[in-house]
Chains A and B, each alone.
Chain A
Amino acid sequence: DAGVIQSPRHEVTEMGQEVTLRCKPISGHDYLFWYRQTMMRGLELLIYFNNNVPIDDSGMPEDRFSAKMPNASFSTLKIQPSEPRDSAVYFCASSLNTLTHERQYFGPGTRLTVT
């Protein structure tokens, strides 16, 4: 299995530009999570989907952030307009609904720098 795939791996953009991050979860996984990681705040859950439906987006910082999952094999996280404080590593993770414990499989992350 290829694991969770994210693109791009690195993104440098100017303040005010639109940024789109992409994620392909592991085939067959029911849950998809978007996280943001910074030194100050650690790993923060932004939003998660179950069977392509957004379940909890309470972690999304503000209206500039939006996420979609049009099908079971693709999700996007969009920031428009981007600001320097959005600079972070963004991880996508997926997991199975095992009804027991569910480990998350993380993608390699996208390192976003907004200048």
Chain B
Amino acid sequence: GQNIDQPTEMTATEGAIVQINCTYQTSGFNGLFWYQQHAGEAPTFLSYNVLDGLEEKGRFSSFLSRSKGYSYLLLKELQMKDSASYLCAVREGSGTYKYIFGTGTRLKVLA
């Protein structure tokens, strides 16, 4: 079956570092995406991994291990505006643009 697992909620303090994990089991794999979604708004793209390793982009980094079906999103120097849901999504296989999304991790950043 197809499954993407993320923690439902996380809480962290302003200025801290937080890691949001995502594990997946899909019938194919051709890339993993992270999106940020503020309450009542649309998802916006954060990062993309297709090869194993770490991709860094400012305060945000994303890691992928294809053999383990595992990814994480690392947020550094947390700010209040980082309070949002973070969605992990897998694109299934080459030749298709079918995406499977996790239910998201709601992150609360406290002052």
Q: Which residues of A contact B (CB under 8 A)?
A: 31, 33, 35, 41-45, 48, 50, 55-56, 58, 91, 95, 101-109
Contact = CB atoms under 8 A, between A and B. Distances in A.
Nearest to A50: B97
A45 B98 CA distance: 7
Interface residues of B, number: 20
Contacts of B41: 108
Given A48-B97, A56-B96, A106 B42 contact: yes
Interface in B63-111: 87, 89, 96-104
B20 to A, nearest CB: 15
Nearest to B98: A56
Contacts of A109: 42
A91 B41 CA distance: 10
Contacts of B87: 42-43
B43 A43 contact: yes
B44 interface: yes
Chain B CB within 10 A, most for which of A33, A56, A104, A107: A104
Contacts of A50: 97
Nearest to B89: A43
30 contacts: A31-B97, A33-B99, A41-B103, A42-B101, A42-B103, A43-B101, A44-B101, A45-B98, A45-B99, A45-B100, A48-B97, A48-B98, A55-B96, A55-B97, A56-B96, A56-B97, A58-B98, A101-B31, A101-B33, A101-B50, A103-B33, A103-B45, A104-B45, A104-B99, A105-B45, A106-B42, A106-B44, A107-B42, A108-B42, A109-B42
Closest A-B pairs by Cβ, 6 of them: A42-B103, A106-B42, A103-B45, A43-B101, A101-B48, A106-B43
B48 to A, nearest CB: 4
Nearest to B102: A42
